[in-house]
A and B are shown apart, each in its own frame.
Chain A
Amino acid sequence: DIQMTQSPSFLSASVGDRVTINCKASQNINKYLNWYQQKLGEAPKRLIYNTNNLQTGIPSRFSGSGSGTDYTLTISSLQPEDFATYFCLQHNSLLTFGSGTKLEIK
C-alpha cells in the first residue's frame, strides 16, 4: 500500500502570503496526485489534478508541481477565502489521502 505523508499539519499565514504544502509518497505515484480544499461542513473541492492541472473555475493563484514521490501545492497570494483545510490524494494505486493541512489566519 502507498502511504502519503503531508506537511505541515498546521500553517498560520497572512493574506497576501505565498504558502506551500507538501505531500510525499512512499513510492513513485507517476504524477497521479490531486489536491483538494475543504471548508467546515462542505464537501471537498478539487483544486488540482494529476500534479499540475488546474480544475476548471479554480483561481490561478493555486498551482501544483512535483514528480516521483514529492509533490507541492502552492498558493501564490493568499486570499481570505483560502483559509481552509487542504489535502492530497494519490490515485496511482488504489487511493491514499494525505492527513491534511489546516491553513489558519495569522
Chain B
Amino acid sequence: EVQLVESGGGLVQPGRSLKLSCLASGFTFSNYGMNWIRQAPGKGLEWVASISSSSSYIYYADTVKGRFTISRDNAKNTLYLQMTSLRSEDTALYYCARRTHSGPYWGQGVMVTVSS
C-alpha cells in the first residue's frame, strides 16, 4: 500500500524557518517525481514545488521561489521542504504528493501555522 506520511509542521514565528519531511513507503520512491502542495485555511489548493526522481529537475511556485527548497533522499525514501523567511500567508496544510499518470497521489498533510 502506498503511504506518504508528512511530519515537521507546527507553529512558527514570521521570518523563521521550518523543515517538512515526507516518508514514503509501498513503492519504489526513487522512480517517482514528487511534489509539495498546500491549502491555506478556507482557500483552494496551490502547487508549491516539484522535484524529479533523481533531483535533476526542480521547480517552484513564484510565491515561494527563493524562500523554499525542495529536496529528496532516495536512500531514506524521504522528501523534504525547507521553508525559510516564513510569512503569515504560508500558513496552510502541506501535502506531499507522488507524481502518477493519473495525477498526484497525496498524503494526509501536515499543518504549518505562521504567527507571532
Q: Is A50 an interface residue (CB 8 A)?
A: yes
- In the complex, B102 has a CB within 8 A of chain A: yes
Asked if B102 contacts A100 (CB within 8 A), the reply is no
The answer to whether A100 touches B104 (Cβ under 8 A) is: no
| Interface 9-residue window, one of A16-24, A61-69, A90-98 | A90-98
Rounded to whole Å, the gap between the CB of A40 and the closest CB of chain B is: 9
Q: With contacts A32-B103, A53-B102, A94-B59 known, is A44 near B109, CB below 8 A?
A: no
Chain A residues near B108 (CB, 8 Å)? Answer: 43
A72 in the interface (beta carbon within 8 A): no
Question: Would you call B45 and A44 a contact (CB within 8 A)?
Answer: yes
Chain A contacts for B47, CB-based, 8 A: 94-97
Q: Does A37 contact B (CB under 8 A)?
A: no
Which residue from A34, A98, A99 sits with its C-beta under 8 Å from B103? Answer: A34
**Contact A95-B102, Cβ < 8 Å, known A44-B45, A87-B45, A100-B44:** no
Q: For residue A34, which residue of chain B has the nearest CB?
A: B103
Cβ of B109 and Cβ of A95 under 8 Å apart?
no
Top 3 A-B residue pairs of the complex, sorted by shortest distance between their CB atoms? A95-B47, A49-B102, A34-B103
